[in-house]
Copies of this chain bind each other. A is one copy, B any other.
Amino acid sequence: MIKVEPGKTRLGWIGTGVMGRSMASHLLRAGYAVSVYNRSSAKTKDLVDLGATLCKSPRDVAAQSDVVFTMVGFPADVEEVILGEAGVLNGLGPGSVLVDMTTSRPSLAQQIYTSAASKGVAALDAPVSGGDIGAREARLSIMVGGDRFVFDALEPLWTLMGKTFVYQGPAGCGQHTKMVNQILIASSMVGLCESLLYATRSGLNPETVLSSVSTGAAGSWSLSNLAPRIFKEDYSPGFFVNHFVKDLGIVLEEASKMKIDLPGVVLAKRLYDELKEIGHGDKGTQALWLVVNRKAE
């Protein structure tokens, strides 16, 4: 298996949006050579300034890399940059590693694993949580599916990007774990918005209420971090509504395959779909308050 070392191992990074840019910068600063590609090349500028090499396609990145990371938007983007004609798998050689960090379909992760294996390439699915701040501060939680020895070999890289990195099982298990994360957030956001609705309509001061309820059994990350943003009417994205709607769609597809009902997710998806329909897809998930409050008017 590959032995990862700064100055020796050549890395590639596809997808330099808000998350990917921060993550790749940690690799560059640690002394790794990094080739980069992004659909809109303007977003690679910060990394090129840090010493990254700009390439013309995911395949070109792969051709000069030992380990390639992808961090793009939707499953269709993952398919294109990995399995497409100009995709990573047409550039990587045997013994190299592909790590998809996009939140995407577990079944696609399995398909990529199989395609990669047929070319002697190891593939991991490694979605993250922690948002833009977690990416910037290298405090992400990285949830990994694939072969454990590949996960172990990449430990020097995980530590540069994340605070928590856990091997979850075979290909697809990283994505499944991320879905578990999103299921928890879905109901948590519904509860948060309903509790604020009740609080305001019953004449309470929501900020004073927060001081009573946030540190006990009702406490959550959402309550402590997103309720204050709602109080300030700050709906800027920590995590995009559009991406969360995508994730909840994947959860429900997978649940349907497993023949399980997740009525809490169905409810959250319905409310988030409505939020997107009224034009708030590019706001943060805390904007759910706009739908819950509006429906009550």
Binary contact track A235-266/B, C-beta < 8 Å → 1, others 0: 00001000000000001001100111111110
With A184-B191, A186-B191, A203-B169: A177-B130 Cβ-Cβ less than 8 Å: no
Complex interface: chain B residues within 8 A of A208 (CB): 166-169
Q: Are B166 and A197 in contact (CB under 8 A)?
A: no
- Which among A6-14, A72-80, A151-159, A213-221 touches the partner chain? A213-221
Asked if A105 is at the interface (CB within 8 A of a chain B CB), the reply is: no
Asked if A34 is at the interface (CB within 8 A of a chain B CB), the reply is: no
Asked if A141 is at the interface (CB within 8 A of a chain B CB), the reply is: yes
Asked if A231 is at the interface (CB within 8 A of a chain B CB), the reply is: no
Number of copies: 2
With A202-B106, A212-B181: A264-B190 Cβ-Cβ less than 8 Å: yes
Q: 5 smallest A-B Cβ distances: which pairs?
A: A187-B191, A220-B220, A184-B218, A190-B264, A176-B202
Q: How large is the interface on A (under 10, 10 to 19, 20 to 34, 35 or more residues)?
A: 35 or more
Chain A interface main SS type: helix
Among B106, B180, B190, B263, contact of A199 (Cβ-Cβ < 8 Å)? B180
Asked if A143 is at the interface (CB within 8 A of a chain B CB), the reply is: yes
How far, in Å, is A193 (CB) from chain B's closest CB? Answer: 8
How far, in Å, is A6 (CB) from chain B's closest CB? Answer: 26
Q: Which residues of A pack against B, CB within 8 Å?
A: 106, 129-131, 134, 141, 143, 164, 166-169, 173, 176-177, 179-188, 190-192, 194-195, 197-199, 201-205, 208-209, 211-213, 215-223, 225, 239, 251, 254-255, 258-265, 267, 295-296
Q: Are A209 and B168 in contact (CB under 8 A)?
A: yes
Q: Which residue of B lies closest to A199 (CB)?
A: B180
Complex interface: chain B residues within 8 A of A295 (CB): 261
Q: Are A185 and B218 in contact (CB under 8 A)?
A: yes
Complex interface: chain B residues within 8 A of A218 (CB): 129, 180-182, 184-185, 188, 221
With A173-B203, A221-B216: A194-B262 Cβ-Cβ less than 8 Å: yes
Q: Are A141 and B180 in contact (CB under 8 A)?
A: no
